[in-house]
Structure 1
């Protein structure tokens, strides 16, 4: 893994937090294995998470009816995106692996991190109708979510009050990471860290560092490749022959493309190789 670059996108306000400790552990573990590690500490940077006309420099093509996606696409092509966006895009371009480290807020990323995604993963740079999902611009990169939760794992089980964590993960892992082409690795979930003893927290940190020693060799979570779908004219739905080939399967191919069948268990928390 020597010579590879990792980017840690970090969102927590407090340096004494467990999320900060996870970020520090990741930096140390990866550097010991020869990785170059970049960090975007969003709160420390006071990163602007709000989309606006200020995200481009120069005059918009249609000033009277500003369309964010279209204008930022043109600005990206012409090198006219805002300086902070371009700086973060350069980090993503350099990275072989992107780790998102954050506390789970309201079943998702903190607003500052979601804003980073919305501004940095701009049209053209991170996706287009011609290049998305398995053919997305980041198809040679890997990414994973590492986050803490307030409640225990049981709350996010298929019988738990929060519902199946796999359902919670689908919008972030499929709708952001897989959509942009990343090979999505199993998430690193640290449950109820505020309510467990210190030795348990130390154990989580040690296991995280151990995992990162061989992170590049991990198999990604499996998603349906874009080639299995009709194109834009066909509505981007699964091809008839793909559906027919799975007619006898107990589960749908993915949590999202479930074909009205039972959801494949643990499909967003484990790769297919570790579920077997």
Structure 2
């Protein structure tokens, strides 16, 4: 099976990139394949433009870069988003990718009154890398915020199934490298079980 791993970080030397590559290594060790979508190095433009608005209103076809991303998702058996937590959410690079790629007519159909979920059967895994420690996120209810904003607000709206949400905390601490082994295990297990966890 194949996973599309979308990396929402601009620095190829970042822990986020290292985690994404470790996840891909875990997939390979389990006999699966991974395609890495490095949005920053590929030059993906996250700005939702007038052209994207025309797509949303069903007045134009999606631009070529959006069609390319949709095709990558279509050929994958699972979608994995790997990203740092910025301001308690996704970075603008990844959020803009979602806004542009998960468009009306492809991810959902909205006719002004009714919404049809078009991504039923899509399997999604979320891996957020956090600077703060687990206690901070627990005190402020981040797990629930992530569930509402991302799992429900994006993927459930389109009919996709979020099979796991993993938060890797304290990424700026001295033990951050431990998350590479966790990521490899996530990759090995990706097509085995559904789980939701804070590591």
TM-score, normalised to structure 2, is: 0.88
Q: Do structure 1's residue 94 and structure 2's residue 75 form an aligned pair? A: yes
Report SS of the residue matched to 2:106.
coil
Q: What is the CA-CA distance between 1:67 and the residue it aligns to?
A: 5.0
For residues 36 and 211 of structure 1, the distance between their equivalents in structure 2, rounded to whole angstroms, comes to: 14
Q: What is residue 70 of structure 1 aligned with on the other side?
A: 57
Deviations 1:139-174 (A, max 9, x none): 2121011111111111111xx2xx112232111111
Higher relative contact order (CA 8 A, sep 6+): 2
Deviations 1:15-59 (A, max 9, x none): 22111110110111112223231221111112111122334xxxx
State how 1:1-276 maps to structure 2 within 5 Å: 4-55=1-52, 69-71=56-58, 74-75=59-60, 80-128=61-109, 129-132=114-117, 137-157=118-138, 160=139, 163-169=140-146, 170-197=148-175, 201-219=176-194, 269-270=196-197
Q: What is the CA-CA distance between 1:127 and the residue it aligns to?
A: 1.1
For residues 219 and 150 of structure 1, the distance between their equivalents in structure 2, rounded to whole angstroms, comes to: 25
For residues 213 and 37 of structure 1, the distance between their equivalents in structure 2, rounded to whole angstroms, comes to: 12
Deviations 1:217-259 (A, max 9, x none): 2136xxxxxxxxxxxxxxxxxxxxxxxxxxxxxxxxxxxxxxx
**4+ residue segments displaced more than 3 Å:** none
Report SS of the residue matched to 2:126.
strand
Structure with max Cα Rg: 1
Structure 1 contact 102–146 (Cα < 8 Å) conserved: yes
Residue segments in structure 2 that go unaligned for 5+ positions in a row: none
For residues 34 and 48 of structure 1, the distance between their equivalents in structure 2, rounded to whole angstroms, comes to: 33
Q: Which has the higher strand share?
A: 2
For residues 191 and 174 of structure 1, the distance between their equivalents in structure 2, rounded to whole angstroms, comes to: 22
How many residues matched?
A: 192
Question: Which moves more between the two structures, 179-188 or 98-107?
Answer: 179-188
